[in-house]
Structure 1
Amino acid sequence: MNSEEDLDQQRCHKILELPEIRFAGFLDYMGNLIVGDFKSGIIPLKNENERKKMFMEAVLRIRTRQEFDENLGQVEYAAARRKNVVTMTIPLEKKILFIAAESNADIDKTARKIIDIL
């Protein structure tokens, strides 16, 4: 791991300390997981192949939204509340932070806490 990946891994561990967070990971713009992990004791809702597909779809959504940045401003974060989980993506310059949180998470408060960590 290089120093940037070490720093990202530290950020993931800090984010995972938030009680509502299940998973935190940094993705490249091809949808590959650079670093990240589940909170200890969490059982993933998707297998590895399904997660890869979900990561690629998250990157595609971010890229699509970025087409509107000039008029609407940059996306700070995007979130989807599902029955079993909340997913959030936070676009950064060269990567995307992907978060999975408990379904009852307060999206805005959680996003602010995560942005403060970054």
Structure 2
Amino acid sequence: MPDELSAKCERLLKEPEIRFAGFLDMMGNLVVGSFRDNVKPLKNEDERKKMFIEAVLRIRTRQDFNDNLGPVSYAAARRKNVVTFTFPLKDNVLFVSAEPIVDIDKTAHKIMNICSIENN
């Protein structure tokens, strides 16, 4: 399974707007993933770990509302320097960061197509 996830990350990182792609376990640990070549991380490793844990907690909290509102396809946050996306999957969370100028919905659907994620 990590090889399959790794291949998906590699495909995502070929897209010029994608800065980082990684799969997190349900504890917020990075299973596989990396930055695109020549991308300077905006956070150090400890800060990224904290961000990953927070992303998984948000996904898990949102799942409490699935019965009423339906499942989350993805969540995105536009910040000054980056746009982050989280995609809840069965056993993992896909975490992607992109350049701040992206069209969020278009980019999310592009990511879902590349990774064969069904729109819930």
What interval of TM-score do these two structures reach, taking the shorter chain for normalisation?
Answer: over 0.9
Structure-2 residue corresponding to 1:110: 107
Classify the secondary structure of the residue corresponding to 2:61: helix
Q: In the alignment, which of 48, 51, 55 is matched to residue 51 of structure 1?
A: 48
Structure-1 residue corresponding to 2:118: none
Structure 2 gap segments, 5+ residues each: 116-120
Give RMSD over aligned pairs: 0.5
Rounded Cα–Cα distance in structure 2 between residues aligned with 1:43 and 1:97? 20
Classify the secondary structure of the residue corresponding to 2:22: strand
Structure-1 residue corresponding to 2:4: 7
Instruction: Quote how far apart the aligned CAs of 1:17 are.
Output: 1.1
Rounded Cα–Cα distance in structure 1 between residues aligned with 2:29 and 2:101? 27
Rounded Cα–Cα distance in structure 2 between residues aligned with 1:88 and 1:16? 14
Rounded Cα–Cα distance in structure 1 between residues aligned with 2:80 and 2:69? 29
TM-score, structure 1 as length reference: 0.96
5 Å-filtered alignment, 1:1-118, equals 4-118=1-115
Classify the secondary structure of the residue corresponding to 1:36: strand
Residue type of the alignment partner of 1:87: T
For these two proteins, the number of residue pairs brought into alignment is: 115
Moved over 6 A (4+): none
Classify the secondary structure of the residue corresponding to 1:30: coil
Rounded Cα–Cα distance in structure 2 between residues aligned with 1:91 and 1:82? 21
Structure 1 gap segments, 5+ residues each: none
Rounded Cα–Cα distance in structure 2 between residues aligned with 1:70 and 1:109? 27
